[in-house]
C-alpha cells in the first residue's frame, strides 16, 4: 500500500472494489508522482487534476453506496492527445491545432468515462502521430523512463512513458504503423493493436483511414485485456468498425500454451533485416520459454518484410497527405521539420501506386493467413533494436523504421508487444505475438503464459 504507483490495474481494482483503497487517495498518490516525475519525462501535454479528483470522488461515492461498474471504476488513465475528450484540447502535439477544444468524447473516451474511469490528462505524442521525437514543437517530446536520454518510441510516446514509470496504470494509444507497440517495446510494457475495426476510431485525429487502430497500454497482460474489454465494440458511425461480438478477453487467459501451435517468423529479423543480436536472442529465448511450457513452435515463412513495409508506407503516406494537404499548403511552417518532411512525401506518390498498394494489401492478407493455417499464433520481433538517444537525429532516422510492426497494420490482424528482457545497457527488449482476426483472447493467453514464466513485468525503471 506504500507503493501505490506500481499497483497493477487488476490489483488496484480489487482494492478499490473491496473499499481497502480510496479512489481519491489512489488518484492523489498518482498526481503526486506525476508532479515529481513528469518534469523529467514530459509524458503529459495537459494534466487534468481537477477532472481527475472529481472523477475519483464520484467513483468513491458510488463504491461506498455499493455501486461497482467494473475494473475501470475509480481507475486513473491517460488519453493520447489525438483522442477527443469533451471540453479538453486535442492538439495532436502540433501548433496547427493549438487551442482546439473537443466538443464531444470519442467513443473510446466515452466508454472509459461510463466505466467509472478517472481521467488524469492528455498524453504527449509524435506530431499528428507521425512526426517522430521533435524539439521544434510547442511542447517537448516525451522521454524514456529507462534512460531519459533515449526516446520512448512512438507515436504514443507519452502513454508509454507514463505507464512504464508508474504515473498511470493504463493509457490509450493509437497504431497506424506500430505506434502502440513501439512505445510498449521501448518502455518495457504491454501494448495491443487489436484487429482492424475492433475499436471505434471516431473522435480521433486520423492519420490513415485504412490502417488506423486504437489500443490499450498497460504494465501487465491481464490489465491490457481488462482495458480492451472496456473500449472494444461496434460503432455504426465509424465506417471501418466491425460488427462482431466482443468476448471477455480474460476468459481463458490462464489456460496456458500446452498443446498450442505457434509459428515463429525468423526471416523478418535474421534475413530481411538484421536485428540487434540481443534483440534477436530475446525472441529465440522467448520461443524457448513457450516450448518449455508445452507449445509446439515451428518456423514459418511469409512475404519479405520489405514488401509489407512498402505497402504500409505507400498507403499511409498517401492517405496522410490527403488529410493534411490543406494545412500543408496554408501553414507549412507550423509543422515540425520531421513531420512536414514525412507528410510531404505523400504528395509524390502516384495514384497508380496507391491503388496497387491497396491491391497488394489484399494479397498480403491472404498470404499471411494461409501461412497461419493450423497455427494458434505467431511470434516475431517488434523493433530491430532497443531505443536510441533521443537527440541523435541520424540514429533516430536510421533505427525508427527498422521494425516488423507495420506488417500487422497491413494485415489488420491483432498483435501485442510484450517485454522479453533488457539489453546490456539496460534498455527494454520485446517481441510481438500476432494471430488471426478477432483472436485477441488467444494472443492474451499466449502472452499471459509467457509473462507468468518470466519476471520482466516486475522490473522498474531507474527514474525515481
Among the listed residues 204, 160, 198, 162, the one whose alpha carbon sits nearest the alpha carbon of residue 178: 160
Distance of CA 4 to the CA centre of its chain: 23
- Say if residue 155 is preceded by a cis peptide, omega within 30 of 0: yes
**Cα atoms in the Cβ-side hemisphere of radius 13 Å centred on 390:** 24
Return the residue matching grid coordinates 455504426.
Answer: 236
- Out of 13, 22, 80, 159, pick the active-site residue: 80
> C-alpha distances in angstroms, 402 versus 5, 10, 86?
33, 34, 37
Q: 39 an active-site residue?
A: no
Residue 408 C-alpha cell reads as 500487422
Task: Tell me how far apart the alpha carbons of residues 200 and 183 are, in angstroms, rounded to a whole number.
Answer: 21
Instruction: Indicate if the alpha-carbon torsion angle 75, 80, 81, 82 is positive or negative.
Output: negative
Among the listed residues 449, 414, 452, 451, the one whose alpha carbon sits nearest the alpha carbon of residue 433: 414
Cα Rg of the chain (Å, integer): 20
Reported as type and span, the H/E element at residue 415 is strand 415-422
- Out of 13, 22, 94, 155, pick the active-site residue: 155
- Out of 13, 164, 165, 179, pick the active-site residue: 179
Assess contact for 217 and 187: CB atoms under 8 A.
no
Assess contact for 438 and 244: CB atoms under 8 A.
yes
Q: Running DSSP on this structure, what letter comes out for residue 347?
A: G
Show Cβ contacts of residue 63 under 8 Å, excluding neighbours closer than 6 positions: 16, 17, 19, 23, 73, 74
Task: Tell me how far apart the alpha carbons of residues 368 and 371 are, in angstroms, rounded to a whole number.
Answer: 5
Q: 46 an active-site residue?
A: no
Assess contact for 260 and 446: CB atoms under 8 A.
yes
For residue 226, the SS3 value is helix
Task: Tell me how far apart the alpha carbons of residues 219 and 399 are, in angstroms, rounded to a whole number.
Answer: 25
Q: Running DSSP on this structure, what letter comes out for residue 200?
A: -
Q: 164 an active-site residue?
A: no
Assess contact for 304 and 272: CB atoms under 8 A.
yes
Q: What residues are annotated to the active site?
A: 80, 155, 179
Amino acid at each position: 500500500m506504500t507503493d501505490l504507483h506500481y499497483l497493477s490495474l487488476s490489483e488496484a481494482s480489487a482494492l478499490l472494489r473491496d473499499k481497502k483503497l480510496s479512489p481519491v487517495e489512489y488518484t492523489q498518490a498518482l498526481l503526486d508522482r506525476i508532479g515529481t516525475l513528469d518534469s523529467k519525462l514530459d509524458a503529459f501535454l495537459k494534466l487534468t487534476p481537477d477532472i481527475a479528483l472529481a472523477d475519483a470522488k464520484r467513483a468513491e461515492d458510488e463504491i461506498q453506496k455499493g455501486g461497482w461498474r467494473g475494473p475501470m471504476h475509480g481507475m486513473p488513465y491517460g488519453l493520447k492527445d489525438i483522442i477527443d475528450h469533451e471540453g479538453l484540447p486535442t492538439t495532436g502535439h502540433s501548433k496547427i491545432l493549438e487551442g482546439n477544444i473537443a466538443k464531444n468524447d470519442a467513443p473510446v473516451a466515452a466508454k472509459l468515462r461510463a466505466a467509472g474511469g478517472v481521467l488524469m490528462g492528455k498524453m504527449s505524442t509524435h506530431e499528428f502521430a507521425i512526426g517522430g521525437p521533435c524539439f521544434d514543437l510547442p511542447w517537448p517530446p516525451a522521454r524514456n523512463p529507462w534512460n531519459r536520454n533515449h526516446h520512448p518510441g512512438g507515436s504514443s510516446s507519452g502513454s508509454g512513458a507514463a505507464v512504464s514509470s508508474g504515473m498511470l496504470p493504463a493509457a490509450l494509444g493509437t497504431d497506424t504503423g506500430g505506434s502502440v507497440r513501439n512505445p510498449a517495446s521501448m518502455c518495457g510494457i504491454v501494448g495491443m493493436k487489436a484487429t482492424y475495426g475492433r475499436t471505434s476510431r471516431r473522435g480521433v485525429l486520423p492519420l490513415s483511414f485504412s490502417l488506423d487502430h486504437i489500443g490499450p497500454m498497460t504494465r501487465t497482460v491481464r490489465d491490457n485485456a481488462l482495458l480492451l474489454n472496456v473500449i472494444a465494440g461496434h460503432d455504426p458511425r465509424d465506417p471501418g468498425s466491425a460488427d462482431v461480438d466482443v468476448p471477455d478477453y480474460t476468459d481463458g487467459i490462464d489456460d496456458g500454451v500446452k498443446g498450442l501451435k505457434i509459428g515463429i517468423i525468423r526471416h523478418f529479423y535474421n534475413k530481411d533485416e538484421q536485428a540487434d543480436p540481443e534483440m534477436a536472442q530475446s525472441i529465440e529465448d522467448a520461443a524457448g520459454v513457450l516450448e518449455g511450457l508445452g507449445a509446439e513452435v515451428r518456423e514459418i515463412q511469409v512475404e519479405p518484410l520489405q514488401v509489407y513495409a512498402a505497402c504500409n508506407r505507400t498507403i499511409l503516406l498517401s492517405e496522410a497527405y490527403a488529410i493534411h494537404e490543406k494545412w500543408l499548403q496554408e501553414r507549412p511552417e507550423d509543422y515540425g521539420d520531421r513531420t512536414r518532411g514525412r507528410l510531404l512525401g505523400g504528395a509524390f506518390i502516384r495514384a497508380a501506386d496507391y491503388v496497387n498498394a491497396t491491391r497488394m494489401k489484399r494479397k498480403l492478407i491472404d498470404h499471411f493467413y494461409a501461412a497461419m493455417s493450423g497455427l494458434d499464433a505467431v511470434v516475431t520481433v517488434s523493433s530491430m533494436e532497443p531505443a536510441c538517444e533521443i537527440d541523435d537525429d541520424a540514429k533516430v532516422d536510421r533505427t525508427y523504421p527498422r521494425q516488423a510492426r507495420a506488417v500487422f497494420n497491413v494485415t489488420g490482424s491483432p498483435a501485442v508487444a510484450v517485454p522479453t528482457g533488457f539489453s546490456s545497457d539496460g534498455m527494454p527488449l520485446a517481441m510481438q505475438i500476432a494471430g488471426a482476426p478477432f483472436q485477441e483472447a488467444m494472443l492474451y493467453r499466449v502472452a499471459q503464459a509467457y509473462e507468468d514464466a518470466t519476471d520482466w513485468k516486475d522490473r522498474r525503471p531507474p527514474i525515481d
